[in-house]
Structure 1
Amino acid sequence: MSEDLGYGWQGELLDLPAYLKRVGYGGDLAPTAGTLRALHRAHVTSIPFENLEIMLGRPIVLSLDAVQAKLVQRPRGGYCFEHNRLFAAALERIGFEVTALTGRVTLGSAQLRPKTHALLHVRPPDLPRDEPAWLCDVGFGSGPLEPLRFVDGEEVVQDGWGFRLQRGRTVTTWSPGTAGWEMHQTMEDGWVQRHTFALDEAFRVDFEVLNYYVSTNPRSPFTTRPFTQKFSPDALHLLDGTTLTVTRPDGSSDSRVLAPEELPETLARDFGIVLEDEDIPRLVAFTQKL
């Protein structure tokens, strides 16, 4: 076996049949734009976003074995680095050209924020080089349902949910060739910039470094409270701490505050996240301190 130098996504090590069963996909596996759209939708609507390992006192491990064990073999989810680690391996295994990117989550803020989000730049192998590639964003938790083309200003509506990619500012004055992009999403009050990113290739080792910060730093939003999301064509279910919010494509939403003891049942019912028996009291105890 040759030495692993850290390039690529180890698609040859993926249990592809198990992954396809987990996301409920039984369609064509030719590496085409149609397959990419269908796989993206299947992944986003099947595997939830969640940070619960941090609440349970365990590290987020990004080895392919660990990610498969958690997101594929167990009824659990993960956050962006786990989702895109898995999705990149699947796409690579099928035959797509996959390049990882990292982004800054803004959610409408003009303040410069650190790179804490992972995305994928994907190209079907037979796509002409003068045709735009696709942005895959399966690890944000609230869509998009399908990938977006790298076409400046193109707006798409997916089952009522609106998204737009557009060119942003050049990242630095000393690297003018590094193109900046922005993703925007329709919210209740209109278009909101969701995150910014550059076409600057990232690798597995970069995921490891960013993952360590996001999962351990007390200033990270993911170390302070449970945060889970499940996205579907009909609704976005979001659990932030003990507040459960259901948002629909038209922007309407309903929220209620749960008792900590309600969380395990809510996670199983609304998010498809089933905790091990020994983890239930640990999560309840954590949320009782919020």
Structure 2
Amino acid sequence: MSQKVNLNAYFERIGFAGSIAPTLATLETIHGLHPVAIPFENLDPLMGRPVQLDQASLEQKMLHKGRGGYCFEHNTLLMNELRELDYSVRGHAARMLWGHGEGGASMISHMVLVVDISGSSYLCDVGCSVFTLTAPLKLRDGVEQQVGDNLFRLSKVDDLWRLDVKLGEDWRGIYQFEPVEQSEGDIAAINSLVEKEYYSRALLFAARVDKEVQYALSGNRLSIYRAGQDPERRYAEDVAGLRTMLADVFRITLPTGEDFEPALQRVLTAAPARATVD
């Protein structure tokens, strides 16, 4: 590929050791390790800093500086690493359903991957802040698939694939995507729109998985999910509280610069006026 990929640095960051043969077993191992080691966070667009999707920038930020990233960064990084390992990988644009009703969000704002192995296709997504996947899902219509404590289902609806999660007795939509591969330029264009949206609306999101616990930050609200229990909620009341959550709960090496704390203050100012969705 045109961009040099440092597999050793990636493997060290996620704690991978073992066979690098392009098999389902290798994919499952990498997919499980990645979201545990590298958190989801959108601090750069929140601060108005451009999100760079070239491999060198992704490696510098996510592998060497102790930062995380959001969907375009996570899944572009994973796509490049998997292609270096000789997997067949395609990037797809997705529309979020979670928190937006059946019609979905007004704009396409997410990126997912489809990996082909031995005649079967698998949905891979290490960059979703909602119900973070820790394993690939077989791209089969209507089949329920268990990942950790969550039961997922992929459905083919017209020309779209839809991902749902089962909560209690109900299925709730997470996102939907077209089976059309997006080019590098397509992804860059969508990314540019999303980073501007995050900045203009002072939207802060972070997520991390840790064994049997999932952590999710939306604005100043931290949600902690444990199997069989109601979510635990905590709220950051000030900039210092947000800094502590980001560093201690999500294990993010916080960015430096005079634009960081004012960005967190914008989140706190916007949070009371913005409705949140559990």
User: Fold-level match, TM-score > 0.5?
Assistant: yes
Residue type at the aligned position of 1:89: N
Superposition pairs of residues 52-71 of structure 1, within 5 angstroms: 52-71=43-62
Structure 1 residue 251: Cα displacement: 5.3
Specify every segment of 5 or more residues in structure 1 that has no aligned partner in the other structure, as ranges.
1-8, 171-179
Aligned pair 1:139/2:127, yes or no?
A: yes
Instruction: State whether residues 48 and 273 of structure 1, in contact with CA within 8 Å, keep that contact through their aligned partners in structure 2.
Output: yes
Q: What TM-score do the two structures reach when normalised by structure 2? A: 0.88
Q: Report the AA paired with residue 114 of structure 1.
A: M
1:258 aligns to what?
Answer: 236
Instruction: Report the 3-state secondary structure (helix = DSSP H, G, I; strand = E; otherwise coil) of the residue aligned with 1:140.
Output: coil
Per the TM alignment, residue 284 of structure 1 is displaced from its structure 2 partner at its CA by 4.0
Distance 2:268 2:236 in 1: 11
What residue in structure 1 maps to residue 186 of structure 2?
A: 206
- How far does residue 94 in structure 1 lie from its aligned partner after superposition? 0.6
1:26-69 per-residue CA deviation (whole Å, 9 max, x = no partner) reads 12111000000110111121111111112223111111111111
> What's the offset of the Cα at 1:282?
3.5
| Structure 2 counterpart of 1:238 | 216
Give the unaligned 5+ runs of structure 2: 271-278
Question: Are the counterparts in 2 of residues 188 and 251 from structure 1 also a CA contact under 8 Å?
Answer: no
CA drift of 1:73 comes to: 1.0
Q: Give 1:277 shift.
A: 4.3
Aligned to 1:93: 84
What is the match of residue 6 of structure 1?
none
CA distance in 2, matches of 1:231, 1:221: 25
Cα gap change, 1:31/1:81 in structure 2, threshold over 3 Å: closer, same or farther?
A: same
> Which residue of 105, 109, 116 maps to 2:109?
116
Q: How many residues align?
A: 265
What residue number does 1:4 align with? none
Does the Cα contact within 8 Å between 1:75 and 1:273 map onto a contact in 2? yes
User: For residues 251 and 59 of structure 1, do their structure 2 counterparts lie closer, same or farther at Cα, with a shift above 3 Å needed?
Assistant: farther
Shift of 1:240: 1.1
Structure 1 contact 100–119 (Cα < 8 Å) conserved: yes
Q: Distance in 2 between matches of 1:198 and 1:256?
A: 36
Structure 1 SS opposite 2:212: coil
**Structure 2: distance between partners of 1:83 and 1:157:** 22
CA positional deviation for 1:134:
0.8
**1:77 maps to which residue?**
68
Give the aligned residue type for 1:190.
Answer: D
Structure 2: which amino acid aligns with 1:240?
S
After TM superposition, give the deviation of residue 85 of structure 1 in Å. 0.8
- Deviation per residue, 1:88-142 (Å, 9 max, x gap): 0000001100111111111262225432111111013xx1x3xx21110111133
**Residue equivalent to 1:5:** none
1:156 corresponds, among 145, 148, 152, to: 145
In 2 relative to 1, CA 284–152 (structure 1 residues): closer, same or farther, beyond 3 Å? closer
Contact 2:79 2:113 survives alignment (8 Å): yes
Find the counterpart in structure 1 of residue 273 from structure 2. none
Structure 2 residue aligned with 1:175: none
Give the superposition deviation at 1:289: 2.9
The offset of 1:221, in angstroms, is 8.5
CA contact (8 A) 2:202 2:267 kept: no
For 1:167, the aligned partner's letter is K
Partner Cα distance (1:140, 1:24) in 2: 20
RMSD (Å) for aligned C-alpha atoms: 2.0
Helix, strand or coil: the match of 1:196?
Answer: strand
How far apart in 2 are the matches of 1:74 and 1:188?
Answer: 39
Q: What one-letter code is carried by the residue in structure 2 that aligns with 1:111?
A: G
- 2 CA distance for matches of 1:256 and 1:95? 43
C-alpha distance in structure 2 between counterparts of 1:21 and 1:86, whole Å: 14
Q: Which amino acid in structure 1 is aligned with residue 189 of structure 2?
A: V
Code of the residue aligned with 2:261 in structure 1: it is P
Partner secondary structure for residue 13 of structure 1:
coil
| Alpha-carbon separation, structure 1, partners of 2:88 and 2:206 | 30
Question: Percent identity, aligned pairs only?
Answer: 27
Q: CA deviation at 1:211?
A: 0.5
- Measure, in 1, the Cα distance between the counterparts of 2:182 and 2:50: 22
